[in-house]
Amino acid sequence: MTAKTIKVGIVGGTGYTGVELLRLLAQHPHCALQAITSRKEAGMPVAEMFPNLRGRVDLRFSEPAAAGLDQCDVVFFATPNGVAMQEARALVDAGVKVIDLAADFRIRDVAVWEQYYKMKHACPELVAEAVYALPEINRDEIRKARVIANPGCYPTAVQLGFLPLVESGCVDIGHLIADAKSGVSGAGRKAETHILHAEASDNFKAYGVPGHRHQPEIVQGLTRAAGRPVGLVFVPHLTPMIRGIHATLYARLTRAVDLQALYEKRYAGESFVDVMPAGSHPETRSVRGANHCRIAVHQPQGGDTVVVLSVIDNLVKGAAGQAVQNLNILFGLAEDTGLTQVALLP
């Protein structure tokens, strides 16, 4: 474990993942916040926008060009898709580690990325180098990385739920189904009609059924885990809550297996994956504000269909918490450093 103070910069500190990063890093014993950028809010005290940080963060938002990001040890990008790819090269060349919470470096096939994200990639050479940083799979690669592609929220819940099945080869990997629901904070902190209170409250809907941009990210990860191509139907839904993802996953067994033992063995020793007792039904509120994924596995009526229930907080294990977990791995710290918060109930 390093005793060094890690100098941290955050690009895009005014969104939900940005303020969640600030909440976590302000409590991290080995991190010192150096700069938090926002072109629009430059000069404003961070705690004026986010009063929960009063007494914890005394910085002001700064212009990116004047933030001295190249003097940091690590820079987080809590920005919309397409921003990190414009700025990462200069930081990497200056010896700064980059952790991107958006999708710029997640998909290794740049043509597929451009198809789903509807823009030309500005830095394809870093895509080839970047590490897709789901710690429960890629811990060794993360330790040596210069560019971290922090996984998406849906992909985290879905991959962690499916991993033991596809790794063990006990299911038909050509016909996987992920039925996932997210709170509205997953859409970001911006003004859009579909996330207005009067639109999202008392409502429940699917979206992105023909092809959601997280689909290729999930398929890429599961294909790597299985060692051969997988087929996935992924259907996301918007739920009238602020935080949380609940993924209900379906697969067809191809051989008999003790599912509970399979999951408990796969995640034994993992700080942030909790395999619940047989028969459990994890709830999103059980992970609210915490960097945990809680999983339960079922075999209804003893048939050949496996049902996996996977819940995370989309802003923590699905974004900022996982990014801090990756920072800990990068800098040789215990993985749970600064991440021991207990979930909020009720």
Q: Catalytic residue positions?
A: 153
Place of tokens 């991107």: 100
Q: Where are the beta strands (DSSP E) in 73-198?
A: 74-77, 97-100, 131-132, 147-149, 176-182
In the chain, the largest separation of any two C-alpha atoms, in whole Å, equals 62
Q: How far apart are CA 145 and CA 99, in angstroms?
A: 10
177: phi then psi, degrees, rounded to nearest 5 = -130, 130
Cα 91 to Cα 21, 66, 74, 86, 179: the distances in Å are 19, 14, 9, 10, 38
Q: How far apart are CA 172 and CA 158, in angstroms?
A: 16
**Which residues lie closer than 8 Å to 238 by C-beta, 6 or more apart?**
181, 182, 184, 187, 194, 200, 203, 204, 205, 207
Tokens standing for 80? 């919309």
Q: Would you say how long the chain is, in residues?
A: 346
DSSP β-ladder status, 232-238 and 31-37: unpaired
List of long-range contacts for 269-276, beta carbons under 8 Å, 24+ apart? 270/136, 271/335, 271/336, 271/339, 272/135, 272/136, 272/317, 272/321, 272/325, 272/335, 272/336, 272/339, 273/136, 273/160
